[in-house]
Structure 1
Amino acid sequence: MFLGKPIKVLLIEDDPGDVYLTQEALDTSRLAIDLQVVEDGNLALDYVYQRGDYTDAERPDLILLDLSLPGCNGEEVLAKIKQDQDLKRIPVVVLTASKLDEDILQSYRLGANCYIPKPVGLDQFLEIIHSLEDFWLTVVKLPKSSG
């Protein structure tokens, strides 16, 4: 049973295994979640700027961003989103394998709303995704989508 209007989540992730796990975790949600996936930084920018193959894409309510991406890397994607007046209101959760202090610090400098290192185990990964859902899609009041 889904509650309310679908929440648009953009997953920017190049690892098919992580995409699959995220989809599986969100499929069990009691919320209506419209998950869109792009696998590289250039496509992510096309998506959020509604250009190329994504001219009809709806603005996401939440972005889950990996830092290690082909094309434009995650830091570049984050910087462009957070420097744009129309896009910077979209919460960006960095969900990445890196636990390096410099990556964490740089992500927050660029405007990340939170930084979560990906856990190694399956159960821990699913728990993280469910925690993200509980907090960002249930507790937090997101701004209404536009555009």
Structure 2
Amino acid sequence: MTLDRSGDPVEILLVEDNPGDVRLTEEALKELRITNELHVVTDGPDALDFLFERDGYESAPAIDLVLLDLNLPRMDGIEVLKEIKSDPDLKRTPVIILTSSSAEEDVVRSYENYTNAYVTKPVDPNQFVDVIRSLEEFWFTIVRSPPPRDGDR
């Protein structure tokens, strides 16, 4: 999976506190042989520090896609989503809610706060790989993303 912007690998930020889900995501991406750099943080404040390149993440790369869990320690996914979508430099970054919650309230709140997609994590590992494959195909093959803003990294 390579963006057309210069052949650089796709930079993905996974915001997930469950080590099993992190491992499953890593394995799914490896199995699909997707050219990417997967960065993992385990809570909301670290996700924002990574995205804003502060507090130990000053050399973090610009992110092409955020996979965001809702149920996080210290700051929930909706709060992280609000921060991302309210920032002029980050609001174009696609954010996919990837969570175990199928609650209608969570779906509605996510879209009200401008998530680009809401995906409920399947329990079955094979189905999870299919979900990751679908996300890869849709976001980096079918969808055309806007060019970086002037001054973006």
Give the TM-score taking structure 1 as reference length.
Answer: 0.93
Unpaired runs of at least 5, structure 1: none
Quick one: which amino acid aligns to residue 111 of structure 1?
Y
**Superposition deviation, residue 126 in structure 1:** 1.2
Percentage of matched positions with identical amino acids: 49
Residue pair 1:60, 1:90 contacting (<8 A) in 2 also: yes
1:64-89 deviation per Cα after TM superposition (whole angstroms, max 9, x unaligned): 00000011110000000001111000
Alignment of 1:35-54 (within 5 A): 35-54=38-57
| Alpha-carbon distance, 1:106 to partner | 0.3
Identify the residue that residue 87 of structure 1 maps to in structure 2: 90
Distance 1:17 1:7 in 2: 23
In the alignment of these two chains, the number of paired residues is: 146
Assess if the C-alpha contact under 8 Å between 1:61 and 1:143 holds in 2: no
Residue 144 of structure 1 and its aligned partner are, at CA, apart by 4.3
Aligned to 1:142: 145
1:122 is displaced (CA, Å) by 1.1
Residue 7, structure 1, aligned to residue 22, structure 2:
no
1:68 equivalent to 2:62? Answer no
Q: Residue 43 of structure 2 aligns to which amino acid in structure 1?
A: D
Contact 1:61 1:142 in 2 (8 A): no
By how many angstroms is 1:25 displaced?
1.0
Shift of 1:30: 4.4
Instruction: Report the Cα distance in structure 2 between the residues aligned to 1:30 and 1:5, rounded to whole angstroms.
Output: 15
Q: 1:19 to 1:144 in 2, by over 3 A?
A: farther
CA RMSD of aligned residues (A): 1.4
Q: Is structure 2 residue 139 aligned with structure 1 residue 133? A: no
Determine if the alignment matches structure 1 residue 120 to structure 2 residue 123: yes
- Pick from 16, 19, 37 the counterpart of residue 19 of structure 2: 16
> Does the residue aligned with 1:57 lie in a helix, a strand or coil?
coil
Distance in 1, Cα, partners of 2:77 & 2:34:
27
Give distance in 2, aligned partners of 1:45 and 1:5: 23
TM-score (norm 2): 0.90
Counterpart secondary structure, 1:37: strand
Within 1, Cα distance between the matches of 2:43 and 2:24?
18
Contact 1:6 1:32 in 2 (8 A): yes
Are 1:101 and 2:99 counterparts? no
Q: Distance in 1 between matches of 2:120 and 2:54?
A: 30
